[in-house]
Structure 1
């Protein structure tokens, strides 16, 4: 048996915000994301190591902009173009965007949907 190689274009993925994540925007437009730490091991860490039940993460200007334009419809390519328009002097904007989105995905703040040619969307 041979393995099938599946080529996927990363730029076609659509970031989708986790609906369970709370966030707020301050008067300057900076976004703070709140992560609730739940589960057995987190309860132990909270009790014995005085870890917080909720962590707040302040995003920088770039992160706040990207979080704000994620609308569960735009693909990564479209997000990168909007980022380039907002911050035209940013170096390596696409690689920085992809890295930022991967961090968000690793922390379960977003997931990815994949565009299909026949308009079916598959969640990754």
Structure 2
């Protein structure tokens, strides 16, 4: 789905789906750690000459981990936002923060979008 197509639709009707190629684990505190492989020509150069790692471990915060566990391929953004509000009732601007976080996950290919039929 193209970006321009998303702008014409309501994010609340989209279903985020985890990229099955992304590996992740959970630490002892329940924090999600996503493993990101750096591949491609420029990354190979950075690894060889600047000693950049081949894989990065990206630790999500408490909110991000909560959202990650609620991305089940069936729940819409609206449903996830309702769970987020119920679990963190004092969070300010929870919906806009959720959407921005999901956009970041999508930009890094950690998730994709599915529309409700």
Query: Given the two structures, how large is their TM-score scaled by the length of structure 2?
Result: 0.92
Match of residue 86 from structure 1 = 87
Q: State the secondary structure of the residue aligned to 1:84.
A: helix
User: What pairs with 1:54-69 in structure 2 (closer than 5 Å)?
Assistant: 54-69=55-70
The root-mean-square deviation of aligned C-alpha atoms, in Å, is: 1.1
1:1-124 matches, within 5 Å, as 7-116=8-117
What are the superposed Cα offsets for residues 47-94 of structure 1, whole Å, 9 maximum, x if unpaired? 011110001111100000000110011010000000001100000000
Equivalent-residue separation in structure 2 for 1:73 and 1:95 (angstroms):
20
The CA distance in 2 between the partners of 1:33 and 1:8, in whole Å, is 29
State the alpha-carbon separation in 2 of the partners of residues 84 and 27 from structure 1.
24
* 3-state secondary structure, aligned to 1:16: strand
Structure with greater Cα Rg: 1
SS of the aligned residue for 1:23 comes to strand
Return the offset for 1:7.
Answer: 4.1
Aligned residues: 111
| 3-state SS of 1:99 partner | helix
Structure 1 residues without counterparts, runs of 5 or longer = 1-5, 117-124
